[in-house]
Structures are given as C-alpha cells and as structure tokens.
Amino acid sequence: MITLKEALTKSKEELDSLKVEMIEGAKESSLNAYIDFASSGDGIPILIKDNIQVKDWSITSGSEILQGYIAPYNATVVENLKSKGFSLFGRANMDEFAMGSTTESSFYGVTKNPYGEDRVPGGSSGGSAAAVAGGIAIAALGSDTGGSIRQPASYCGCVGMKPTYGRVSRFGLASYASSLDQIGPITQNVEDSAILYDAIASYDEKDSTSSDLPLKPIFENLNGDRKFTIAVIDNYISEASESIQDAYAKTIELLKEAGHTIIHKNMTNTKYDISTYYIVATAEAATNLARYDGIRYGNRIEGKNLEETFRNTRAQFGDEVKRRVMLGNFVLSAGYYEAYYLKAQKVRHLIRDEFNKIFEDADLILSPVAPTVAPKIGSTHDPLEMYKSDMYTIAINLAGLPAISLPVAKDSEGMPIGLQLIGKAFDEQSIFDGALSLEKVVNYTK
Ligand code: GLN
C-alpha cells in the first residue's frame, strides 16, 4: 500500500481507482478489519474507527445497541480532514465502546492480526491497526483512552500516536471516559503520522476541553536530527516479557549511538496506575453510557413497564461493557465515592506530578507499550489479566500527555514489538522528531 505522503502526490483519478482496489483488497482479506465500506467525499481515503461520527454513516461503537443508528453530523476531526483534501473511507472494527485490549468484544467479531491470524490485533482500535498493517488502508483514525491507539499499533507493527489531551477535538467521538479520550492517527510510518496529526489537530469551541494554545504544523518542521535527553524508567521494565526487555535494551543502545543522551529514572506510583485508571474510566463510562436506555439512545426493546424497557434495552450491552457500567456506578455511589473515585482523582495528580518531575531533566521518556506481544485470540479469559496488559499506556492518559508508539523489533515468532516515546504536554514536535530518529536507527521491516 502506498504511504500517506505518497498519496499526497496522486490525482483524483488515481485515488478513485485506489479506493476500488482497497475495497477489493479488504473483501478478499480475512482480517475482518472493516465493518463497512462507507465512503464520503473525494481525496486521500482515511479509515475511520466506528466511534467517530461521519454524517449519514452508520456509527455503532462496535455495539449491538447502536445497530442502525445513523450519525446526524460530522465529528470535528472529520470536518478537518475534509477541509484538507482527505476523504472518509470505511469503518474500522473496535472493541465495544472502546472497552478492551483485543477487539474481541466487538459485536462484529474479532479482527485478526496480519502478522499471525491466530493473534488479536490489540484494541480497542484493532480494526484500524490491522487494516493499516495488512495493506488494506493507507492510514486510519483511532481513539485512545488508555492505550487503544498505541497498543494495537504496537501489536500490528505500525505507528500509533495519542495527542496531548485537548489537542484534538472530541466533538463527535462517542464518549468512553471523557477526561481521557483522544482521537489520533494509526499509520505506516512516523511521517504519515505527523501528516495525519496535523490534519486533525485544532482548537474547537464545540469541545469545552479543547486547548487554544498555538498550534504549529509538525510535518513541515519534522527533524530527525535533533538530539534529545531520553529518560528510561528502570523499575518499570521488569514486568515486560523477555523479548520486550531485550528490544528495550537494544533500542537504548541504538538511541545512544544516534547521539541521544539516556538518563535513568524511577517511578514510584506506577503500582497505582491500573486501579486509578479503572476507577476513573469506569466511573466516566457509567455516566456516559447512561444515555443508552432505549429512550434517548439505543435500540429500544420494549418491556411491560419503563424499568423493564431499560433493563431489556441495556441487556444488549456485551459482558465487558456491563462489567464496567456496574463497576463505575459502584465507585460513584454514596459511601464509596470518597473511598474510590475521589481518591483515584488525587492519585491521578500524583501520577502527573511524577511525570512532570522526570520532564524537568528529560525531553522524552522511552517505555514499552505493552508487557507482551499480541496474545492468541481467545487466550485472555480473565478481565483482570487484560486490565494488567494496559500497565504501560494508561498512566499517559491519566496525565494527559502525548505519546507515539512505533515498531522496533520482532520476537522469535515474528510478532512485532513496539516501544513508545512519551513527551511533555503540547510538545508533539519532540515526540515526532524523536520517533523519526528512532525509526531511522531501528530500521524495522515488515
Ligand atoms: N484497554 C483499555 C480499556 O479497556 C484502553 C481502551 C482504550 O484506550 N479505549 O479501557
């Protein structure tokens, strides 16, 4: 598949025939990455996750409850893409309401990993990552609440970028956890990631958490020759598998050879990351998903009375969504609010402070994306095990920071290993420049 940068040089006719080829390719593919071939407008085709509104397209967030729902307006990212010569092309599969790490909780069935079809593509933006890695999409949008762009990108050997909270408008993104969600690009390489980030980032008065700090274009200022001070978190790495620890150590050497300075740091609050995230995220999710009651949103399944109608309608949620709605309502309920939710909000500040402390000495932090490579389909039975696999990504959302994951190596079975560079809030330029430098030195090939 051509890159996004190459696509910028193609004529309308060439892009139109590419779209025809893409549909054929996706139909022949066994990945189950696309759930629809909807298409809107002329220009370079960008695949869209099923939780981002494209006017007149179906949008279901991978859920049964939203079957048949048609988006009444465009998300701001979609308006931005259209105004910059991109077109919207195809719906990508995802975990139901973006809750998950494997895309197995989708109503449409699991997407497969192009590196091994018995493996998950990661999640929740698994369709986006598998399509880009599998050569059936040029580039895609995903959303990242606790790793859902970076982790599937890492499992599928492509580049995934989560912007600083507030940089990309959430208007028109189906909310999971509003204080953590960000839309971002999944692409074949770092340059393409910068191109797509530039296209979607904007201040938006329709999103009250949107930032109006000045926004400079990244791609035209990309500089892979900048030298950075990069922190590695020594006490953070031991929980990763051997192949990931090995790739991490080799990457550190490559970064040193490329002229970057490596400094060693520790983080003390990491043991609280998962509990903090799963309290904040489920509390916000329970609130956001309350609207799917068959009256305001969601396919209604009538009962004898209103309560039974609510119950029947909400029974359409899958198990993972139900689990989180219950957990979220529990941590918000009287008597538990202070013990869980309020405490989690305090710990969230500690986590952010710890990152800021490291950023007093470092420009970037290098970290694994996930503790393992992509697991086998059907192998993640215990939800707590799945939550643990988010250990390297969720703190970045809790702190609102930008991060980019890119492939650096493969394990002995040929599965991709990704690492991420985390930056200071609103310093997207440095994570892209650092990633470009890293991409050059690791020279990853599919
Ligand atoms: N795996 C995490 C979760 O299930 C992250 C998901 C996401 O970023 N949307 O919450």
Q: Classify strands 364-368 and 416-423 as parallel, antiparallel or unpaired.
A: antiparallel
Do 114 and 130 contact (CB within 8 A), yes or no? yes
**Probe ligand 1: pick from 52, 94, 95, max atoms within 8 Å of CB?**
95
Do 406 and 438 contact (CB within 8 A), yes or no? yes
Q: Among residues 24, 156, 163, 170, which one has the least CA distance to residue 103? A: 156
Q: How far is the CA of 429 from the centre of ligand 1 (A)?
A: 25
Give dist(CA 432, CA 437) in Å, integer: 9
Residue 381: band (very low, low, confident or very high) from pLDDT cuts 50, 70, 90: confident
Contacts by residues 201-208 (CB-CB < 8 Å, ≥ 24 positions apart): 201/80, 201/163, 201/167, 201/168, 201/428, 202/76, 202/80, 202/168, 202/169, 204/76, 204/169, 204/171, 206/76, 206/169, 206/171, 207/76, 207/169, 207/170, 207/171
Q: How far is the CA of 344 from the centre of ligand 1 (A)?
A: 17
pLDDT of residue 119: 98
Task: Determine which one of 19, 49, 112, 410 is catalytic.
Answer: 49
Residue 446: band (very low, low, confident or very high) from pLDDT cuts 50, 70, 90: confident
Give dist(CA 259, CA 432) in Å, integer: 17
Cα end-to-end span (Å), the chain? 13
Q: How far is the CA of 144 from the centre of ligand 1 (A)?
A: 7
Do 175 and 51 contact (CB within 8 A), yes or no? no
- How many alpha carbons lie under 13 Å from residue 183 in its C-beta half-sphere? 32
Q: In whole numbers, what is the pLDDT of the chain averaged over residues?
A: 96
CA Rg, the chain, in Å? 20
Q: Judge whether residue 268 has pLDDT over 90.
A: no
Q: Judge whether residue 385 has pLDDT over 90.
A: no
Q: How far is the CA of 223 from the centre of ligand 1 (A)?
A: 31
Q: Which numbered atom of ligand 1 lies nearest the CA of 149? A: 8
Do 29 and 134 contact (CB within 8 A), yes or no? yes
Catalytic residue status for 148: yes
H-state helical runs in 88-169: 126-133, 150-155
Length of the chain: 446
Q: Which numbered atom of ligand 1 lies nearest the CA of 278? A: 10
Q: How far is the CA of 176 from the centre of ligand 1 (A)?
A: 9
pLDDT, one tens digit per residue, over 166-204 is 999 999 999 999 999 999 999 999 999 999 999 999 999
Atom 10 (ligand 1) nearest CA: 99
Q: Is the whole-model pTM more than 0.95?
A: yes
Q: Which two tokens stand for residue 192?
A: 């393409």
Do 330 and 336 contact (CB within 8 A), yes or no? yes
In the numeric block, the tokens 């490291």 are attached to 358
Please state, in angstroms and as integers, the Cα–Cα distance from residue 44 to each residue in 10, 67, 81, 283, following that order: 9, 28, 9, 38
The backbone torsions φ and ψ at residue 5, rounded to the nearest 5 degrees and listed phi first, read -65, -40
Task: Determine which one of 124, 128, 154, 193 is catalytic.
Answer: 124
- How many alpha carbons lie under 13 Å from residue 194 in its C-beta half-sphere? 22
Give dist(CA 41, CA 25) in Å, integer: 20
pLDDT of residue 274: 95
Task: Determine which one of 40, 101, 148, 202 is catalytic.
Answer: 148
Contact residues of ligand 1, CB 6 A cut-off: 98-101, 124, 144-148, 176, 281, 390
pLDDT, one tens digit per residue, over 106-136 is 999 999 999 999 999 999 999 999 999 999 9
Residue 251: band (very low, low, confident or very high) from pLDDT cuts 50, 70, 90: very high
Q: Which amino acid is at 65?
A: I
Atom 5 (ligand 1) nearest CA: 146
Beta bridge partners of 162: 403
Taking each continuous run of H as one helix and of E as one strand, the counts in the chain are 14, 11
Report DSSP letters for 15-28, one per residue.
HHHHHHHHHHHHHH
The backbone torsions φ and ψ at residue 148, rounded to the nearest 5 degrees and listed phi first, read -65, -5
For residues 6-32, give the mean pLDDT: 96
Do 184 and 149 contact (CB within 8 A), yes or no? yes
**Probe ligand 1: pick from 144, 145, 149, 322, max atoms within 8 Å of CB?**
145
Q: Which amino acid is at 19?
A: K
3-state secondary structure of 294: coil
Q: Dmax over Cα atoms in the chain, in whole Å?
A: 70
Q: How far is the CA of 365 from the centre of ligand 1 (A)?
A: 21
Q: What is the DSSP letter of 272?
A: G
pLDDT, one tens digit per residue, over 405-421 is 999 999 999 999 999 99
Catalytic residue status for 124: yes
Catalytic residue status for 49: yes
Q: Which numbered atom of ligand 1 lies nearest the CA of 180? A: 8
Give dist(CA 152, CA 130) in Å, integer: 8
Q: Which two tokens stand for residue 20?
A: 């025809």
3-state secondary structure of 195: helix
212: exposed, middle or buried (Cβ count in 10 Å: 0-12, 13-18, 19+): exposed
**Probe ligand 1: pick from 95, 125, 320, 390, max atoms within 8 Å of CB?**
390
For residues 346-374, give the mean pLDDT: 97
Q: Is 390 left (phi over 0), alpha (psi -120 to 50) or beta?
A: alpha
The helix or strand, by DSSP H or E, that contains position 410, with its residue range, turns out to be strand 403-410
In this structure, of 150-154, 240-244, 384-388, the range with the lowest mean pLDDT score is: 384-388
Give dist(CA 427, CA 423) in Å, integer: 6
Q: Judge whether residue 236 has pLDDT over 90.
A: no
Residue 232: band (very low, low, confident or very high) from pLDDT cuts 50, 70, 90: very high
Q: Which numbered atom of ligand 1 lies nearest the CA of 176? A: 9
Q: How far is the CA of 60 from the centre of ligand 1 (A)?
A: 17
pLDDT of residue 270: 86
